[in-house]
Amino acid sequence: MVDKKDYQNTEEIAWCPGCGNFAIRLALQEALAELNLEPHQVVIASGIGQAAKAPHYLRINGFNGLHGRAIPVGTSLASIRKDLKVIVESGDGDIYGEGGNHFLHAFRRNPDMALFVHNNQVYGLTKGQASPTSEIGMKTGVQVKGVTNLPLNPLLIALVSGASFVARSFAGDKKHLKTMMQKAIEHKGLAYLDILQPCVTFNKINTFKWYKERVYHLEDDHNPENWEMAVEKAREWGEKIPTGVFYQKERRVFAEDFPELSREEIFDPRERVYCWPELLENYK
Amino acid sequence: MVDKKDYQNTEEIAWCPGCGNFAIRLALQEALAELNLEPHQVVIASGIGQAAKAPHYLRINGFNGLHGRAIPVGTSLASIRKDLKVIVESGDGDIYGEGGNHFLHAFRRNPDMALFVHNNQVYGLTKGQASPTSEIGMKTGVQVKGVTNLPLNPLLIALVSGASFVARSFAGDKKHLKTMMQKAIEHKGLAYLDILQPCVTFNKINTFKWYKERVYHLEDDHNPENWEMAVEKAREWGEKIPTGVFYQKERRVFAEDFPELSREEIFDPRERVYCWPELLENYK
Amino acid sequence: MFNIRIGGEAGQGMNTIGTLLAKSLLRMGYHVFTSKDYMSRIRGGHNFSDIRFGSKPLQSGTEKVDILLALNKETWEIHKNSMTESGLLVYDPDDFSPEGDGPEKAGFPFLKKAEEIGDKRIAGVIALGLIHRIFDLSPDHLKKILSEKFSGEILEKNIKGLDLGYQEGEEKFSIKPNPDLKGTKLISGNDAIGFGALVAGVQFYSAYPMTPSTGVLNFLSAQGEKFKILVEQAEDEIAAINMALGASYGGVRAMTGTSGGGFSLMVEGLGLSGITETPLVILNGQRPGPATGLPTRTEQGDLEFVIHASQGEFPRIVLAPRDVFNAFSQTVRAFNLAEKYQLPVIILSDQFLGDSEQTISDFKPEDFKIDRGKLLKDYKEEKPYLRYRYTEDGISPRLIPGAKDQVVLVDSDEHNEAGNIIEDAETRTKMVEKRMKRMEKITEEMEPPLYKGPKPEKVELILVSWGSNFGPVEEARIGLEEEGIKVGHYSFVDIWPLPRGDWEKTLKEKEWALIENNFSGQLGSLLQKREIGYPEFFLKKYDGRPFTGDEIKRRIKEEVANRG
Amino acid sequence: MFNIRIGGEAGQGMNTIGTLLAKSLLRMGYHVFTSKDYMSRIRGGHNFSDIRFGSKPLQSGTEKVDILLALNKETWEIHKNSMTESGLLVYDPDDFSPEGDGPEKAGFPFLKKAEEIGDKRIAGVIALGLIHRIFDLSPDHLKKILSEKFSGEILEKNIKGLDLGYQEGEEKFSIKPNPDLKGTKLISGNDAIGFGALVAGVQFYSAYPMTPSTGVLNFLSAQGEKFKILVEQAEDEIAAINMALGASYGGVRAMTGTSGGGFSLMVEGLGLSGITETPLVILNGQRPGPATGLPTRTEQGDLEFVIHASQGEFPRIVLAPRDVFNAFSQTVRAFNLAEKYQLPVIILSDQFLGDSEQTISDFKPEDFKIDRGKLLKDYKEEKPYLRYRYTEDGISPRLIPGAKDQVVLVDSDEHNEAGNIIEDAETRTKMVEKRMKRMEKITEEMEPPLYKGPKPEKVELILVSWGSNFGPVEEARIGLEEEGIKVGHYSFVDIWPLPRGDWEKTLKEKEWALIENNFSGQLGSLLQKREIGYPEFFLKKYDGRPFTGDEIKRRIKEEVANRG
Ligand SMILES: Cc1ncc(C[n+]2csc(CCOP(=O)(O)OP(=O)(O)O)c2C)c(N)n1
Ligand SMILES: Cc1ncc(C[n+]2csc(CCOP(=O)(O)OP(=O)(O)O)c2C)c(N)n1
Ligand code: SF4
Ligand code: SF4
Ligand SMILES: [Mg+2]
Ligand SMILES: [Mg+2]
């Protein structure tokens, strides 16, 4: 049995005390251990931001790449290394802002990986500018008169782009979060989980309290195979904010015809030379 | 009265004979003339591709920029030059592929401009690779076994991103196309028009005939203020393909508080020095 | 000259304390130089600010600390060895007890006293009172400053705290203010760049947040409404530069700003500015790379990158401001050059320059001229307007679109005079030559490096620096001169195209030292192309920290001694 | 040596005709060199292909045309002045009538005859029959080739057409095949690069379509299934490079390819490869810039760009293949270097090289070795695996992630040996040095330029070229030698880091000419940094067309004559 301590490392954590990220980290650690996955079997691909520091705070394989570019890294990795569990984990600015194009196209491909977005509705690491999910009116050092651009509804984008798994959870609801993570990791295809994550330093609107007052679990009568229902629920925001699996329906996974490469095949790609003579024939 | 000939120039057109782009060009020329707009009052911002050559084939202001980057160019131009009518015109690869992130965020801003996408469901200029809207199974030199990524439904993306105007037309239905263009140009805010445009050279699936057999006009009983209805209609694709205004509802326009600058103010921004002394006070 | 270092965790309010102290010193008539050393995190870790002041101009940080205000034990541990012999540690004995010998120590229970007064946030002001007393400085200016910021009860408590600290302090140092300092201001490099853009008449600024350039975005956002500037946070840097180009095409002055990673994403847009001949000012505030690197630190690692960025060949200008006032004036000039030559101008700043504050003398913004080059508000000639008309100097009149009966067409493909796509060899050749032709005139206009020090004939060694290294090198040079070691100093600001001038001959003949905040010596590499040869000594630093004057002085002294 | 030019509108099938002809010539035992000149459009305009053949190796195009197969009048108008005195125009009198004097003309109603046979598409094959007869070549090989392509009725009609054309032709030229040419192949530069990647064991290729690199994407897509290569068209170039890096981290050999505009978008990813030390092969197929420029033309305008691209400093390798076979072998080598040194290797090709076909001698793919450097399949030591362990040579063992009980962490921030973010000056300094240390060994490994011609002491002038200019310069050099003018030729392939070698001394002492397909002389600029000085003569071309051997020969001859 894998223990969550197996995921523990000794790095000093650079998040602010009280930040929602801590609970997310713990939930992930537990989720993985309970799924009996060992650290070497899992990779986290992340971008840049507070959330994106995640792979440093666990003992786990990690590709901490560029701001906004975790999805392409995860996509190829999940497809070429079918033996690994790939998790893309980053912030809302990273995935929906800088990385928006990859977010949009990821669902079309449906690679077999999980996508966890720490959605604190703000740019944390760069000190509090609006993110694509910041609410209208939120004032920041850049949005001095308040945000005017309509916030993105990333769940809807996912749903209309052909997502095979769309879920939301909340950092203040750790048990639920852990379950959602597990479902996402077990899903075959791109499993997208938006995580409401209070930023205690810069987001004075969407606080723990604010979320707590609004968040509820999707009822048992919510049918995650019903796309229209999922859309309806995904449009709900404000007084009440649903969490849970909005939608799940398996479909063709990216590169599913591509074979699982063995460690030997990866290490020594030589065995594939057999058809060279045939190929050379084309050139005479 | 403006005549459509005022928009004529003498450039040789590099499109293939029979290409859907010709009809689009003509429709635009007529649409603008009938709206009594003069060439100097209109700018086309385009990217790179066959469609994106549009500004060369009219006598009109043009910013023929980079592949995928016409939307940001149009956005700032429309906001800083409220006296000009801005049209962003480009291909499906350009706007939905390379430029996907700008497409996604454009609706959030809602700048006062029109967005015309020549959607031929293929990369024309680079010789026939799949575009984000190519259908599953379409074979190309790159997608040798046929497209496997789910095509994007750009109208749905627009709708869930807060678009204030979403329409579709067909290059083979010039009168309808012209009307749609006029409605788009007259709309206050971002008016998005997807134009089904047969590529006679590379797209052997979605031909004139193919579209003709499927395309129909949204009925009078379609209510463009009804978002749910618009979504329902936007999901229709295959046997029947609706065209017309799917959705229209005005809302805050990007930079609407920003004043319209006069030609003098643009030319000589000096008059704004008045508050320097006050500002300098901050630094002592 | 004294250096006060305030250190603690991110989130402990060091910036506020530092700003109050710096302003108070400024108003009393001192030259001030502040710099920041902070981590890429929001809370915790270890950050510090230095506030140096004195009666002579200050242009750099220093390795030495006269007063250390340690908000936690870690600060004490890290900085105790930097303290001067006469240095003084100021701390709160409730936080920690500094063990062992070392400098003199002044413990005072700031927090407890603040709580007694009724607001723990004023602990810092109490410390400031103490510090004022230590330097024998009246707290009156600070009271004034507090009253500009606060009122009512909060103000009262602050004053009370300040007075308390002042009473409890003990005079230790004393330094005369400079009576000539009237109307001086204390401003950071980033604010100076923003101010320069304002004075140049910028009307559009788009950017994506990125340290250390975000300060300029903040500055312009704050001023946007008053000055009719449209400021937009873009979805990414690609959008930012393309938005700025759209606005510039529209006729207004436009700018974008970023750091290396964002600049990387703007590279294609840079070439778009190049081939469309659309003026654009781009700020690259450097930080250590590659990739994410050290987000909140400083380096001069992007010089060759920005000079050569983007496919194909086109003229561009790169200016690396040497200090805070220069950051202001070069920004104004950048806009003028961009429009005069219709090309991209890159302002190459860095975290050190952007985040440091320096006293600047009084000036009138309106004395800085706006030159919009061959911009046409209207066009009424017979022949239709041609955006890329061939001209003697390669610069075509640029018409603001919207002029009655005329159209303005720009194109990222190779094009003819009208802006239409072409593919023939002849037009291509002519257009390349038209664009490149401007290089000659630009090279003539580039200013040779500023020379400081005794005549080159009289010096042992010439120090060569670029951009923000000017200050530290100058302090070193002056310090060396005071010790009888004569060295000269060339400081490059206009760095691409590399200016011509006497300096080339001088460097070929003299021994010289290259001082760069990078690993490979990028200015050195440009000089080699001019056949200046290699420096006798290359003083480099790539740990993410800026040079200080005393550090350079020490290293050069060693070098001079070694060479005997 | 003869040159057959086939010209007409895009869409008229010139490529098919050209390919059939080239293959027929190849199988008969001739050396062949083909090149393409096409517009950035799908139909219409003016395109042409050249097929040169002869009994000696051919390495370049030529200005002269022996046979012009003009599919329309425009072709005749444009190319008539390029024809040799003994040249022959082949055309269809139903298309146009070539007026005036000039070369001999052979009109034949290809289309009418094709329609008579029952398929207008075989008009081209009829022309090929005619051309075979003109050169007194048997049409048998072509028949074989047709039978490999077609069958049944279509094949019959083709053969009929071919025979008809052959009957109607008239012998005019004659040239002996080379009996030694056994097993040679005719392959384009782009296919050669794709082939090299295959042989190197590539398992992942991601790209976004962009002329002139798309050929490589097409090649690998076609071979993907057979060779177990995952080939993906990305949504943009940023995704393409980051996907490739993800795959490389996963342990497989990964590559991406693009042209300048796409490379611009990959610049940040390039730095990511640099700081994470993730091996990556990047193809940049150059075309004329800036920005979109001339999409289907050629230039060598990106050299300094790719050398300096991305913020900060890190080692990279740039290889510019000199001809088609070299494009193949350098690609194999690129993968080996990328893994040996754990860094990005850029293959700098161009449209001329990518689209030209050249005969290459027989070779065994399996003779090309795979060297994966310090890649570890497993790790079983006591101490935990550290991705960035400090080592003597700066290269750390690289573990394929997934090894039992070990984790592999890479980071775009500055990091420690374990890959965790750090900010302290000491670790930063050590990591910079660890990364940069590799430069020395790499520089040693870089091969000096290939020297061709009589010993340097014996020549009047040395021609210096890089990349694909090798062929045209070689043809010129040999041609000059035949006329008694002795020149040497240095051809650079390993271009960054610039190799050391005797060539430096030679160039310092001798007069030399720089030949580059760009405006500013970018290799020249690298040489100046080495204090080689300036060339006596700079032969540049920036009209989007490749040099030809005869053009260079003529210009050098003039130069030599002028200089007396
Ligand atoms: C190309 C690039 N642009 C900008 C940045 C600066 N940057 C770092 S993190 C960040 C935003 C982080 O926001 P988010 O992804 O929401 O993460 P959070 O800190 O809120 O968890 C930005 C803009 C960067 N590192 N790279
Ligand atoms: C950065 C960049 N990447 C790739 C290209 C090559 N390119 C030019 S047009 C094009 C696709 C065009 O497709 P689309 O936008 O659908 O236009 P169409 O030709 O079909 O009208 C591509 C990939 C480019 N010019 N720039
Ligand atoms: S800034 Fe916000 S998101 Fe970042 S660590 Fe602090 S609380 Fe968390
Ligand atoms: S390739 Fe297709 S889209 Fe392009 S011009 Fe030809 S028919 Fe039109
Ligand atoms: Mg965030
Ligand atoms: Mg298209």
CATH code of the domain containing D276? 3.40.50.970
Q: How many CB atoms lie within 10 A of CB C436?
A: 16
Which residue of C9, C39, C42 is the best one to mutate when testing the A interface, meaning the one whose CB has the most A CBs within 10 A? C42
pLDDT at D12: 85
Q: B255 contacts in C (CB within 8 Å)?
A: 230, 232
Q: Residues with Cβ < 8 Å from A85, sequence gap 6 or more?
A: A37, A41, A42, A43, A113, A114, A185
Q: Give me the CATH number covering residue B48.
A: 3.40.50.970
Atom of ligand 4 nearest to the CA of D43: 6
Backbone φ and ψ for B238, nearest 5 degrees, come out as: 135, -105
Q: Which of D257, A23, D391, D309 is nearest to C302 (CA)?
A: D309
Q: What is the least distance, in Å, from the CA of D501 to any CA of chain C?
A: 19
Distance between CA C165 and CA C133 in Å, rounded?
Answer: 8
Q: Which of A29, A57, A61 is nearest to A44 (CA)?
A: A61
pLDDT in tens, D98-112: 987 889 999 999 999
Ligand nearest to the CA of A198: 3
Residue with tokens 């295809």: A189
Q: C242 vs B40: CB contact, 8 Å cut-off?
A: no
Statement to judge: residues C384 and C472 lie in one domain: no
β-partners of residue C409 are B62
> What are the residue ranges of helices labelled H in C73-229?
73-79, 110-117, 123-134, 140-149, 152-168, 189-199, 214-227
Which chain B residue has the Cα nearest residue D222? Answer: B144
> Is A49's C-beta closer than 6 angstroms to any atom of ligand 1?
yes
Statement to judge: residues C517 and C423 lie in one domain: no
pLDDT in tens, D316-331: 999 999 999 999 999 9
Closest residue by Cα to atom 23, ligand 1, is C209
Amino acid at A237: W
pLDDT at D277: 98
Which chain D residue has the Cα nearest residue B124? Answer: D42
Backbone φ and ψ for D12, nearest 5 degrees, come out as: -85, 0
pLDDT at C101: 80
Statement to judge: residues D218 and D317 lie in one domain: yes
**Of D367, D391, D418, which closes a domain?**
D367
Q: What is the mean pLDDT of chain C?
A: 96
- C183, part of any domain: no
Residue C419 contacts D, CB cutoff 8 Å: no
**Helix, strand, coil shares, percent, chain A, to 5:** 40, 15, 45
- pLDDT grade for C72, boundaries at 50, 70 and 90: very high
Q: C246 vs B77: CB contact, 8 Å cut-off?
A: yes
> Is A157's C-beta closer than 6 angstroms to any atom of ligand 3?
no
Q: C245 vs B104: CB contact, 8 Å cut-off?
A: no
- pLDDT grade for D443, boundaries at 50, 70 and 90: very high
- pLDDT grade for A86, boundaries at 50, 70 and 90: very high
Q: Under a CB-based contact definition with an 8 Å cutoff, are residues A94 and A122 in contact?
A: no
Judge whether residue C371 has pLDDT over 80. Answer: yes
Q: What is the least distance, in Å, from the CA of A202 to any CA of chain D?
A: 23
- C334, part of any domain: yes
Statement to judge: residues D125 and D226 lie in one domain: no
pLDDT at C365: 87
- Pairing of β C317-319 and β C494-496: antiparallel
What whole-number percentage of chain D has pLDDT above 70? Answer: 100
DSSP character at residue A13: P
Statement to judge: residues C464 and C507 lie in one domain: yes
Of B110, B150, B160, nearest to A108 by CB-CB distance is B150
Q: Which of B222, B166, B173 is nearest to B193 (CA)?
A: B166
pLDDT at C564: 65
Neighbours of chain A (3+ CB pairs under 8 A): B, C, D
Judge whether residue C102 has pLDDT over 90. Answer: no
Residue with tokens 């570890």: D376
pLDDT in tens, C103-129: 999 999 999 999 999 999 999 999 999
Statement to judge: residues D440 and D462 lie in one domain: no
- D59, part of any domain: yes
Q: How many CB atoms lie within 10 A of CB A197?
A: 31
pLDDT in tens, B222-235: 999 999 999 999 99
> Is A57's C-beta closer than 6 angstroms to any atom of ligand 3?
no
SS3 D83: strand
Average pLDDT on C215-224 reads 97
Per DSSP, the residues of C439-459 read: HHHHHHHSPPPEEESS-GGG-
Q: Domain range for residue D327?
A: 188-367
Statement to judge: residues D416 and D526 lie in one domain: no
DSSP character at residue B5: G
Tokens, residue B116:
């015309």
Q: Give me the CATH number covering residue C463.
A: 3.40.50.920
Statement to judge: residues C156 and C10 lie in one domain: yes
Of B108, B110, B149, nearest to A108 by CB-CB distance is B149
**Is cis: bond before D290, omega within 30 of 0?**
yes
Q: How many CB atoms lie within 10 A of CB C171?
A: 10
Q: Residues with Cβ < 8 Å from C42, sequence gap 6 or more?
A: A15, A16, A50, A124, A125, A127, A201, A202, C10, C11
Statement to judge: residues D440 and D454 lie in one domain: no
pLDDT at D99: 82
pLDDT in tens, C507-563: 999 999 999 999 999 999 999 999 899 999 999 999 999 999 999 999 999 998 887
Judge whether residue B274 has pLDDT over 70. Answer: no
Statement to judge: residues C517 and C426 lie in one domain: no
- pLDDT grade for C164, boundaries at 50, 70 and 90: very high
Backbone φ and ψ for C512, nearest 5 degrees, come out as: -145, 155
Neighbours of chain C (3+ CB pairs under 8 A): A, B, D
H or E element, residue D21: helix D14-28
- pLDDT grade for A177, boundaries at 50, 70 and 90: very high
Number of domains forming the structure of chain B: 1
3-state secondary structure chain A: CCCHHHHCCCCCCCCCCCCCHHHHHHHHHHHHHHCCCCHHHEEEEECCCCHHHHHHHCCCEEEECCCCCHHHHHHHHHHHCCCCEEEEEEEHHHHHHHCHHHHHHHHHHCCCCEEEEEECCCECCCCCECCCCCCCCCCCCCCCCCCCCCCCCHHHHHHHCCCCEEEEEECCCHHHHHHHHHHHHHCCCCEEEEEECCCCCCCCCCCHHHHHHHEEECCCCCCCCCHHHHHHHHCCCCCCEEEEEEEECCCCCCCCCCCCCCHHHHHCHHHHHHHHHHHHHCCC
Q: Under a CB-based contact definition with an 8 Å cutoff, are residues D324 and D358 in contact?
A: yes
**Is cis: bond before C290, omega within 30 of 0?**
yes
Q: Under a CB-based contact definition with an 8 Å cutoff, are residues C14 and C6 in contact?
A: yes
Q: Half-sphere exposure (CA, 13 Å, Cβ side) for A166?
A: 29
Judge whether residue B206 has pLDDT over 70. Answer: yes
- pLDDT grade for C239, boundaries at 50, 70 and 90: very high
Q: How many CB atoms lie within 10 A of CB C98?
A: 19
Which residue of A75, A104, A250 is the best one to mutate when testing the B interface, meaning the one whose CB has the most B CBs within 10 A? A104
> What are the residue ranges of helices labelled H in B35-118?
70-80, 92, 100-109
Q: Domain range for residue B249?
A: 4-283
**Of D420, D445, D470, which closes a domain?**
D445
Q: C39 vs A14: CB contact, 8 Å cut-off?
A: yes
- D181, part of any domain: no
pLDDT in tens, D34-85: 999 999 988 989 999 999 999 999 999 999 999 999 999 999 999 999 999 9
SS3 C534: coil
> b/e string for B204-234 if b means 16 or more Cβ within 10 A?
eebebeebeebbeebeeebebeebebbbebb
Tokens, residue D255:
């590559």
Distance between CA D344 and CA D338 in Å, rounded?
Answer: 6
Distance between CA B180 and CA B95 in Å, rounded?
Answer: 19
pTM for the full model?
0.98
- C174, part of any domain: no
Per DSSP, the residues of C257-303 read: EE-HHHHHHHHHHHHHHHHHT--EEEEEEE-S-STTB-TTS-----H
Least trusted range by pLDDT, from A270-284, B133-147, B161-175, C479-493: A270-284
Which chain A residue has the Cα nearest residue B147? Answer: A109
pLDDT at A276: 80
Average pLDDT on C343-347 reads 98
Distance between CA C110 and CA C106 in Å, rounded?
Answer: 11
Backbone φ and ψ for C12, nearest 5 degrees, come out as: -90, 5
Q: C274 vs D291: CB contact, 8 Å cut-off?
A: yes
- pLDDT grade for A75, boundaries at 50, 70 and 90: very high
Number of continuous H segments (helices) and E segments (strands) in chain D: 18, 23
pLDDT in tens, C496-510: 999 999 999 999 999
**Helix, strand, coil shares, percent, chain D, to 5:** 40, 20, 35
Statement to judge: residues D146 and D195 lie in one domain: no
Judge whether residue D204 has pLDDT over 80. Answer: yes
Neighbours of chain B (3+ CB pairs under 8 A): A, C, D
Residue B45 contacts C, CB cutoff 8 Å: yes
Residues with C-beta atoms within 5 A of ion ligand 6: B 91-93, 120, 124
Atom of ligand 3 nearest to the CA of A120: 3
Of C302, C309, C313, nearest to D301 by CB-CB distance is C313
pLDDT in tens, D466-524: 999 999 999 999 999 999 999 999 999 999 999 999 999 999 999 999 999 999 999 99
Statement to judge: residues C154 and C195 lie in one domain: no
Of B63, B269, B273, nearest to C203 by CB-CB distance is B269
SS3 D334: helix
Q: What is the mean pLDDT of chain D?
A: 96
Average pLDDT on B44-73 reads 98
Tokens, residue C516:
């760069």
Number of domains forming the structure of chain D: 4
- Taking any CB pair shorter than 8 Å as contact, residues of chain C touching chain A are 11, 39-45, 208-211, 214, 217-218, 221-222, 224-225, 231, 233, 235-236, 261, 291-292, 295
pLDDT at B118: 98
CA of C519 to the centre of ligand 1 (A): 27
Q: B100 vs D43: CB contact, 8 Å cut-off?
A: no
